[in-house]
Amino acid sequence: MSTPTLPPGLAIQKADERIMTLNVGPQHPGSGHMRIIVQIDGDYIVACDPDPGYVHRGEEKMAEYRNYVLNIPHLERPVIHDSCNILYPYVLGAEELLGLEITERAKYVRVIASELNRCVYTMYWLAIYGIFLGHSTMFMWPAGDRELLIDLLEKMTGARVTHSYFIPGGIRNDLPANFEDVCLRQVNYFEKRIKEYADVFYDNPILLSRTEKTGILTRENAIRLGTTGSVLRASGVDYDVRKKEPYDVYDELDFQTNVMKSGDSYARSRIPWLDMMESCRIIRDALQKMPKSGSVRVKLKPNPKGAIGSVYKRIESGRGALGCYIVSDKKAEPYRVKLSVPSFRNLIALPHLLIGEKLGNMPSVYWSLNYWPVEADR
Amino acid sequence: MLKDLITPQNANVFVGKLGDILERAIDKPLGYAINWGRIWSLWPVHIETACCSVEFGAASSPRYDVERFGIIEAFGSLRQCDLVVVQGTITRKMAPRLRLVYDQMPEPKYVIAMGACAITGGLYFDSYNVLPGIDGVLPVDVYVPGCPPRPETLIQGCMLLQEKIKRMKARKIV
Amino acid sequence: MSSESEKKMVEKKPEDSKPTTAKATEKPAAKPAAKKPVPAKTPPKEEPELPAFEKGIGDKIIEKFGDQTAVSFVKPDRVGIKVNRESIHDVAEFARDVLNYDHVDSVAGVDYPVDKEIEVVYHLSSYTDPTLSRQILELATRAQREDEPIPGNDATKLPSLRDVFYSVEFHEREVFEMLGVYFEGHPDNRRLLLPEDWADLPPLRKDFRNKGR
């Protein structure tokens, strides 16, 4: 058979007969803000190469040009709906470098804001998980119910998302009057609502057949790959920074961590939901134990300079252990700020889990890793 | 009698008048109908560029419910969509892909620039990987300011786009 | 200023480690022995007592590797070790096999143009060992820095720790593209976050300035 004549600029390249390369690209209903290059053999994935970086905005470089307080608005934008948690280790580290002691009331309010943010993040994640699987009721219910908590956060901080609430020295402003009663009422109703998700989602036989026994991450691999957060606890490792290295007032509050042993997508999707119920307990406990009055903010001198040295602080956010490494050299701007985000640490599990899976299982495995692409790119 | 009225000197006037009559009788009502159809079914492409996508997702939630305006996120292909909402910061890596997505959409298509980063680069004006606004890449119809804009602001932006479409010509005169 | 806050953190340990589980009690048993707070009226040059458990970790590494390593700081729950470039791989294996650190939390690269070096800092942590659940070990190595970098083909090289700790794979790729440090032994030293056609200096170096700064 003779080769056909081609128009100029085209060439024939011999492709593999069985393997096809697909871009699950930045514009895809099942990919979020990143690209995953998969190679498939029929229906099974044989190779996978994640391609993040579509939202890489250079946060760490920008942090070197702004002082400790001016860094707050842009360092919280990687996860705008969980903004208190991504600022938390940075603020703890800045307080240690600037030598500040914050008050008890500020610590309790920080814990309440952090737990509210964890719930708000997890609800959005559940909403997107539902829509990836095609379960549009599971998009509408969490997206609507999280508005209850966003109302509370708006009363506290003034903004729906990107609160800019934590600053070195405490928090920006005190709680409004009568906040405790409103918060208690909303959190109780919220807890009742999320218990109903079991009927529509977690006991749904279609979800069970799609996510059970897919993307199994064994305990040894979860430790070896350095995963964190709900991915780790779904594989049987009981590690939560709030319990192991308590910061602020977590050692005085009463809660437990949830661990499941199966390590599949179903377990990874269930653990954040159980964690949300623990968050409601923490908020109620903290509201009770909080000192009823007191200042919440330590006055800062203009352009405070950090002590020479470095500090590494970590907290538990909605996705896992978030760490911040700050190096300072006695200037008003930090010398280097490095955020160690849980989404980036869990990314290594993606090629590991997808190889051997069917292409149709890709969204349920990929999003169950509690991966937020904007945070991983910083 | 008509043949005597129409001379080679004034034929163009008659043709113009006929065109006017046809436009007023058929083209305008048809244009209203076509634009009415376009306004109440703006389907945005499912592309999330950066953090404003959270507020865009919240706009589809039951509280703000942008679906009553006909704006459903079409979870299918982009060849059926007619609206690109540029949600947030555009990095140098994302810009060629965004242009490719825009080029693949069929006419008529509209662009909303959502958030301060899509308008001028916003908070990230001095970063090495961020474009100063999407103006240089796509032709923008409506700018929605905010960081991030509240869902109600986004809905107001969509309503502004609807007003703009009402004033557009329904079919292109070649 | 910072030593006083360290003292306060050191003094707080006995109270807030009590509610935690029984597994962690063998570690704080070593701590109250070291808990003599230094009175403030002594001259400020006097150092506070170093926490004993963390000092023990630092001493074990020093006694095995001698002058290839040096302790840079010992704080509550944090131990920092400076390591020479040639022995970072052996120190990491020692940390994994003998000291039971099983994964890496983060890899950070810091540029010091004044010393003409780039420092790469590994933060190690442990999920399996209950005595180490709060500890983070910081290993810092330095690579030589060149003024005109050609990433991958100049003298800024370090041995990769990927065969010791698999979790550093994507972190080392990011340090390569952001600072130009080539990791020998890493199977895939490729760009991760930057655009594919990036031809400028590696962005996190100090001589790369942001727009208008």
CATH of residue C113's domain is 3.30.460.80
Neighbouring subunits of C (3+ Cβ pairs under 8 A): A, B
B94 and A25 within 8 Å at the Cβ level: the answer is no
The partner residue sitting opposite C195, judged by closest CB among B93, B125, B126, is B93
C105 and A345 within 8 Å at the Cβ level: the answer is yes
**Within this chain, do residues C123 and C41 fall inside the same structural domain, yes or no?**
no
**DSSP-derived 3-state class of residue B37:** helix
Instruction: Report pLDDT for A13.
Output: 63
Dihedral, B75, B81, B83, B84 alpha carbons, nearest 10: 60
pLDDT of C30 > 50? The answer is no
d(CA B59, CA B150): 8
Chain C: residue whose CA lies nearest to B128: C210
CA angle (C173, A46, A15) in 5-degree steps? 100
Lowest mean pLDDT among A177-186, A212-221, B63-72, C148-157: C148-157
Chain B: residue whose CA lies nearest to A30: B75
pLDDT digits (tens, 9 = 90+) for A25-35: 888 887 888 88
Instruction: Report pLDDT for C47.
Output: 58
Per-residue pLDDT averaged across C92-101, rounded? 86
- The model's confidence at residue C7, banded by pLDDT at 50, 70 and 90, is very low
**Within this chain, do residues C150 and C81 fall inside the same structural domain, yes or no?**
yes
| Residues with Cβ within 8 Å of residue A14, at least 6 apart in sequence | none
**Within this chain, do residues C86 and C26 fall inside the same structural domain, yes or no?**
no
- The model's confidence at residue C48, banded by pLDDT at 50, 70 and 90, is low
Q: Are A286 and A104 in contact (CB under 8 A)?
A: no
pLDDT of B139 > 90? The answer is yes
Instruction: Report pLDDT for B143.
Output: 94
Q: Which residues of C touch B124 (CB under 8 A)?
A: none
Chain C: residue whose CA lies nearest to A94: C2
**Within this chain, do residues C75 and C159 fall inside the same structural domain, yes or no?**
yes
DSSP string for residues in A148-207? HHHHHHHHHHS-SS----EETTEESSPPPTTHHHHHHHHHHHHHHHHHTHIIIIIT-HHH
R_g over Cα of chain A: 23
**Within this chain, do residues C149 and C170 fall inside the same structural domain, yes or no?**
yes
d(CA B90, CA B136): 11
- The model's confidence at residue C49, banded by pLDDT at 50, 70 and 90, is low
CA of C187 vs chain B CAs: smallest distance (Å): 24
Q: Which residues of A touch B96 (CB under 8 A)?
A: none
| Average pLDDT, rounded, for chain B | 86
Lowest mean pLDDT among B168-172, C25-29, C78-82: C25-29
| Residues with Cβ within 8 Å of residue B100, at least 6 apart in sequence | none
**Within this chain, do residues C126 and C201 fall inside the same structural domain, yes or no?**
yes
CA of A252 vs chain C CAs: smallest distance (Å): 8
Instruction: Report pLDDT for C28.
Output: 40
Instruction: Report pLDDT for C45.
Output: 53
pLDDT of C155 > 90? The answer is no
Q: Please indicate, yes or no, whether the overall pTM of this predicted structure exceeds 0.90.
A: no
* Boundary residue ending a domain (C49, C64, C79): C49
Instruction: Report pLDDT for B142.
Output: 93
Q: Which residue has the higher pLDDT, C201 or C5?
A: C201
Per-residue pLDDT averaged across B21-29, rounded? 83
Q: Are B131 and B146 in contact (CB under 8 A)?
A: no
**Within this chain, do residues C96 and C38 fall inside the same structural domain, yes or no?**
no
Q: Is the peptide bond before A304 cis (omega within 30 degrees of 0)?
A: no
Q: Are C96 and C164 in contact (CB under 8 A)?
A: yes
Neighbouring subunits of A (3+ Cβ pairs under 8 A): B, C
- The model's confidence at residue C18, banded by pLDDT at 50, 70 and 90, is very low
Q: How many domains are contained in chain C?
A: 2
**Within this chain, do residues C58 and C155 fall inside the same structural domain, yes or no?**
yes
R_g over Cα of chain B: 21
Instruction: Report pLDDT for C19.
Output: 40
Q: What is the DSSP letter of A248?
A: T
Chain B: residue whose CA lies nearest to C213: B126
Chain C touched by B91 (CB under 8 Å): yes
Per-residue pLDDT averaged across A213-235, rounded? 89
CA of B102 vs chain C CAs: smallest distance (Å): 20
Instruction: Report pLDDT for A318.
Output: 85
Q: Which residues of C touch A237 (CB under 8 A)?
A: 127
- The model's confidence at residue B173, banded by pLDDT at 50, 70 and 90, is low
Chain C touched by A344 (CB under 8 Å): yes
Instruction: Report pLDDT for C6.
Output: 42
Instruction: Report pLDDT for A308.
Output: 87
| Average pLDDT, rounded, for chain A | 88
| The two three-digit tokens of residue C85, written as one number | 């470039």
**Within this chain, do residues C93 and C181 fall inside the same structural domain, yes or no?**
yes
Dihedral, B138, B140, B145, B150 alpha carbons, nearest 10: -90
Chain C touched by A54 (CB under 8 Å): no
Per-residue pLDDT averaged across C109-131, rounded? 88
pLDDT of A145 > 80? The answer is yes
| Residues with Cβ within 8 Å of residue B25, at least 6 apart in sequence | none
Instruction: Report pLDDT for B161.
Output: 93
Q: Which residue has the higher pLDDT, B82 or A12?
A: B82
DSSP string for residues in B61-116? STTT-GGGGT-----S-GGG--EEEEES--BTTTHHHHHHHHHHSPSS-EEEEESH
CA of C35 vs chain A CAs: smallest distance (Å): 19
**Within this chain, do residues C117 and C163 fall inside the same structural domain, yes or no?**
yes
Instruction: Report pLDDT for C8.
Output: 42
Instruction: Report pLDDT for B79.
Output: 87
pLDDT digits (tens, 9 = 90+) for C161-205: 888 888 898 999 999 988 888 888 888 888 888 888 888 888 888
**Within this chain, do residues C100 and C82 fall inside the same structural domain, yes or no?**
yes
pLDDT of B63 > 70? The answer is yes
pLDDT digits (tens, 9 = 90+) for A241-269: 888 888 888 888 888 889 998 888 999 99
Relative to beta strand C136-144, strand C117-125 is antiparallel
Question: Using H for helix, E for strand and C for coil, what is the string for C48-82?
Answer: CCCCHHHHHHHHHHHHHHHHHEEEEEEECCEEEEE
ipTM computed for the complex: 0.87
Q: Which residue has the higher pLDDT, B10 or A1?
A: B10
Relative to beta strand C182-184, strand C157-159 is parallel
Closest C-alpha among A369, A124, A47 to residue A227: A369
**Within this chain, do residues C103 and C74 fall inside the same structural domain, yes or no?**
yes
pLDDT of A151 > 70? The answer is yes
Mutate to test the interface with C, among A218, A289, A327, A336 (most CBs of C within 10 A): A336
B128 and C208 within 8 Å at the Cβ level: the answer is yes
| Structural domain span for residue C109 | 51-213
Q: Which residue has the higher pLDDT, A215 or C1?
A: A215
Instruction: Report pLDDT for B7.
Output: 79
In degrees and rounded to multiples of 5, residue C159 shows phi and psi of: -70, 140
pLDDT of A200 > 70? The answer is yes
pLDDT digits (tens, 9 = 90+) for A74-130: 898 999 988 999 999 999 999 988 888 888 899 999 999 999 999 999 999 999 998
CA of B169 vs chain A CAs: smallest distance (Å): 30
Chain B: residue whose CA lies nearest to A133: B75
Instruction: Report pLDDT for C23.
Output: 40
Q: List the domains of chain A with CATH numbers.
A: 55-340 (1.10.645.10)
CB contacts under 8 A, A 278-307 vs C, are 307
